[in-house]
Structure 1
Amino acid sequence: MTTVLPVRAPGAATSLRPAGDERSTAGSPAGRARQMLGHLVPWLVRGAMGVAVLAFAVLAVGPHLLGYRTMTMLTASMAPEIEPGDITVATPIDVTGLTEGMVITYHMPVGDHSLVTHRVVSVDHAEDGSVTVQTKGDANDAIDPWTAGLEGDTVYQVRAVIPEFGHLVQLLRTPVVSQVLLYGAPALLAGWLLMTIWRPTHDENEEVRP
């Protein structure tokens, strides 16, 4: 079998792609910017959705399924172990197993009885089964000016610290960000999905006519 190969005549000009074909060049700066934005937006959406899902799982689902509690540290009384804006994860333990050195979260017996997270410096187990403790913040110079009686059979011991996550939680709770997430995130996700479905595709091996 004889194969006939096309031979370009001497002096014949090589056909070039039309000037308007973006595939013939690296593209204009505006075109490159659009291309970079097209690649960046999906990852931003995925990242935002991933953070939202993680925050929901840790703060809303986990405590109900696993029984732990989370609290955002507001002061520097436990620095540097727990800084303001960190989130503590505490699990319940039997109050009879409480010992010095543990970091616990409990209601202070003075003022507005708000929650406090401090280290136990002394424990008193009375004969009637009641337990009283004295605590101190690691960054404080003095022991807390009260003796707290622990009610119930359990107390919450801090097991883990999530650095800086509380700042994100507080940001998500602001009215402006909440509205943006409520309406903007679904709209952005829907737009990205539509772009993915309707984005025109080009065959790299497609013949380009002059």
Structure 2
Amino acid sequence: MSTGKHRRRSERSGALWWLGQISSWTLFLAAVGILLALVVVPRATGSTPYTVLTGSMAPGMPPGTLVVSKPVEPADLQAGDVITYQLHSGEPEVVTHRILSTANSLDGQTAFITQGDANAAPDREPVQPGQIRGAVWYSVPWAGYVNTWLTGEQRIWITGGAVVLLAGYTLCMFLGATLDAVRNRRRRQATTGEESYHGAA
């Protein structure tokens, strides 16, 4: 009987068991991180995720990078900031480039001279304040490919499903730890009882 207990303890403390635990937790945390970056954080902060489609911002933001742009006041922008802006005001197509400098437009507003990090020359037309969708808050390599697959409705379903799965996973881990604690306590009590019995004998 003691041999069986020893075998079970060895199975739960051997190299393969620890490797499985580390691998499962690594995958779990990676999935949580991608979910937070792709869906939860943008929705909670009013930011917008975009996918980099070209190499104009390489090597820092190669194609497939997810960039999350947060709303910003144009007056707070300065040279060096990376912004996402509409190519033409009111149209959906956007570009993410770095601000090189500012200039005054014909109507007296401040316009922004931008350029991709990998481009040899600045963009042809200055960016007007009304074109700016936000300043890049953070970026995640390769996650943009996932972003292009998801529609707005799919993000809502994924967020809800992920919350349920994470809650279920957390509950399972808690129950597993609780059961292990109960088993260990009973095992210690049984061992103490056996030692007391042999001592009395």
- Which TM bucket (shorter chain)? 0.5 to 0.7
Which position in structure 2 is the counterpart of 1:188?
Answer: 169
Q: 1:47 aligns with which of 21, 26, 29?
A: 29
Distance in 1 separating the partners of 2:5 and 2:19: 17
Which position in structure 2 is the counterpart of 1:116?
Answer: 95
Any residues of structure 2 matched to 1:1-210 within 5 Å, and which?
18=1, 20-23=3-6, 32=14, 36=18, 40=22, 43=25, 47=29, 51=33, 54-55=36-37, 58-61=41-44, 63-64=45-46, 71-84=50-63, 85-90=65-70, 92-95=72-75, 101-109=80-88, 112-121=91-100, 123-126=102-105, 128-151=107-130, 156-158=134-136, 160-164=137-141, 166-167=143-144, 170=147, 173=150, 178=158, 181=162, 184-199=165-180, 200-201=183-184, 202-203=187-188, 206=192, 207=194
Any conservation in 2 of the 1:45–1:189 contact (CA below 8 Å)? no
Which position in structure 2 is the counterpart of 1:12?
Answer: none
Pair 1:116–1:42, CA change in 2 (3 A): closer
Any conservation in 1 of the 2:69–2:133 contact (CA below 8 Å)? no
> 5+ unaligned residues in a row in structure 1: which ranges?
1-17
Q: What's the CA shift string for 1:21-46, capped at 9, x where partnerless?
A: 323x6867698488548855884587
Q: Give 2:42's aligned amino acid.
A: L
Any conservation in 2 of the 1:131–1:150 contact (CA below 8 Å)? yes
Any conservation in 1 of the 2:69–2:83 contact (CA below 8 Å)? no
Q: Give 1:60's aligned amino acid.
A: R
Q: What's the CA shift string for 1:106-155, capped at 9, x where partnerless?
A: 11128954221112345431463334444321212344344443328x87
Distance in 2 separating the partners of 1:98 and 1:27: 59
Any conservation in 2 of the 1:105–1:155 contact (CA below 8 Å)? yes
Identity %: 23
TM-score (norm 2): 0.58
> Over aligned residue pairs, what C-alpha RMSD do you find?
4.8
TM-score (norm 1): 0.56
SS of 1:189 mapped into structure 2: helix
How many residues are paired up?
A: 184
Distance in 2 separating the partners of 1:155 and 1:31: 52
Q: Give 1:137's aligned amino acid.
A: G
SS of 2:143 mapped into structure 1: helix
> 5+ unaligned residues in a row in structure 2: which ranges?
none
SS of 1:203 mapped into structure 2: helix
